[in-house]
Amino acid sequence: MNKASIKLSTRDYMTEAKMRNHFEVIDEPVTVGGDDNGATPVEHLLSALGSCVAITLRMYSQRKGWDLGKISVDITQKNVQTQNGVSQVFVEDISFEKEPTDEQKKRLKEIAGKCPVAKIIKGENLIESNII
């Protein structure tokens, strides 16, 4: 089970997150009332998705014996109007230091969508909120 503990400070929107033995500061930009002390929650989500994709691709390519060198993932979140309203689209631009073959690219694209964070984002998930 993964866990994060979040504490909202008295400094407007600045939060401190603790995950195992690691700490992160999350905040909003000055333009929306924060102090810009850290990345926004959405930026953390994008970072989690991009990191998960890169790690998943590295694990897969290592199992296959493919040397791809450095893996870069740039993720952009955008709003798209659909017939059901506005939808969020995450655009992943994935590149490799060493050029994979066309067949490898096809397989790597499939594998990228199978990282655990992508599965969480795409899946039907429940959030159980408890006020204690």
Q: What pLDDT does 1 receive?
A: 86
What secondary structure does DSSP assign to the chain, as a single string? ----EEEE-SSTT-EEEEETTEEEEE---GGGT----SB-HHHHHHHHHHHHHHHHHHHHHHHHT----SEEEEEEEEEEEETTEEEEEEEEEEEESSPPPHHHHHHHHHHHTTSHHHHHHHS---------
Residue 5: predicted pLDDT? 96
What are the sequence ranges of the domains in the chain?
Answer: 1-38, 41-122
pLDDT one-digit tens code per residue, 8-22: 988 889 999 999 999
What pTM value is reported for the model? 0.88
**Which residues does the chain have with pLDDT short of 70?**
none
> What pLDDT does 97 receive?
98
CATH number belonging to the domain at 41-122, selected among 3.30.1330.20, 3.30.360.10, 3.30.2270.10, 3.30.300.20: 3.30.300.20
